[in-house]
Amino acid sequence: MSEKKVKVGVVGAMGRMGQSIIQTILTQDDKANGARLEFFTASDVANHPGVGKECYPATRVTLNASSESVFEQSDVVIDFTPPGNTVVHAKYAEKHGASYIVGTTGLGDEDHQVLDQIGQAVCVVQAGNFSLGVNLMTAFSKKMAAVLGPEWDIEILEMHHKHKVDAPSGTAMMIGEAAAAGRGVNLKETAVKSRDGITGERQVGDIGFATLRGGSVIGEHEIIFASDNERLTLSHRAENRGLFAAGAVRAARWAAEQSKGRFSMMDVLGLSDFGV
């Protein structure tokens, strides 16, 4: 294992994902390859009651209200905050030279353009999902879409807890992008994200999405390939948020060894050239 220590900052540190990420950093496997991560600084919204106090048990890290200070003090910053923060945080990463791990979902075109831009100066790892299982599922979806062809209908189903604010989920879109890439088509031109009323027959080549919300479901995703004669299904269910935190921490360790560039979890896991 490398002796290099990397200072890691967490924005949105008091959220469910923020707390899970901090716990994962503090309990990381000593045998893991790559840089050793040190939980160094954290922030949350200015009116959070924890500002000015220790932000996680058994640490001396004080929660502050300035997200920029986190980027200024860190080698790598992990961000799972709402999408309205991404452009601002990306510019902080570029300004202070911090690698940027983005787990935020529901990003728009402007967000991606800014991430592309700052990837010319710092390392950016952005993914709709940091789970090892989901990324393997995504890679297989790309391969299957390429092999099966447009005569097989593709439908993507996802379910999350009732508090999730974006739909379809970033993971569902990631799987859809992979399937579209396998077919050599543009997802924006083939995606069908809602059906209501008299919709007419399904069009050949459509990639359909269905969204469910309810309860405390962490995340469930399924991609269905259906022909007139048979059906293939890949599915993934998250049992707890620890798998996302583990992936983000793995990405942070990997990013610490890169100089710059725009990457995904596929790159971290060595799956970017898989299948197709």
DSSP 8-state code for residue 4: -
> What is the spatial distance between Cα 5 and Cα 17, in angstroms, rounded to a whole number?
23
pLDDT at position 254 is 95
pLDDT at position 34 is 64
| CB 178, CB 172: distance < 8 Å | no
Where does CATH 3.30.360.10 sit in the chain? 132-237
Residue 243 CB contacts under 8 Å (≥ 6 apart), including other chains? 130, 131, 132, 133
Task: Annotate 44-73 with DSSP letters as a single string.
Answer: --TT-TTTTSBSSTT--PBEES-HHHHHHH
Q: Radius of gyration of the chain from Cα atoms?
A: 19
Q: Report the CATH fold assignment for 132-237.
A: Dihydrodipicolinate Reductase; domain 2 (3.30.360)
pLDDT at position 74 is 97
DSSP 8-state code for residue 34: S
What superfamily in CATH does domain 5-130+241-269 come from? NAD(P)-binding Rossmann-like Domain (3.40.50.720)
pLDDT at position 276 is 46
Where does CATH 3.40.50.720 sit in the chain? 5-130+241-269
Instruction: Pick the closest to residue 169 from 109, 206, 218 (CA basis).
Output: 218
Would you please indicate which residues are annotated as catalytic (active-site) residues? Answer: 160, 164
> What is the spatial distance between Cα 128 and Cα 133, in angstroms, rounded to a whole number?
13
Residue whose entry in the numeric block shows the structure tokens 């390392």: 123
Q: For residue 96, what are its two tokens?
A: 């202070």
User: How far separated are the first and last CA of the chain, in Å rounded?
Assistant: 33
Per-residue pLDDT 10s for the chain (276 aa) are 445 789 999 999 999 999 999 999 999 865 566 678 999 999 999 999 999 999 888 888 999 999 999 999 999 999 999 999 999 999 999 999 999 999 998 899 999 999 999 999 999 999 988 999 999 999 999 999 999 989 999 999 999 999 998 899 989 999 999 999 999 999 999 999 999 999 999 999 999 999 999 999 999 999 999 999 999 999 999 998 899 999 999 999 999 999 999 999 999 998 876 654
Element (H, E) at 261: strand 261-263
| CB 276, CB 181: distance < 8 Å | yes
Element (H, E) at 192: strand 191-192
Residue type, 5: K
Q: For residue 165, what are its two tokens?
A: 């604010």
pLDDT at position 58 is 80
| CB 205, CB 154: distance < 8 Å | no
| CB 39, CB 63: distance < 8 Å | no
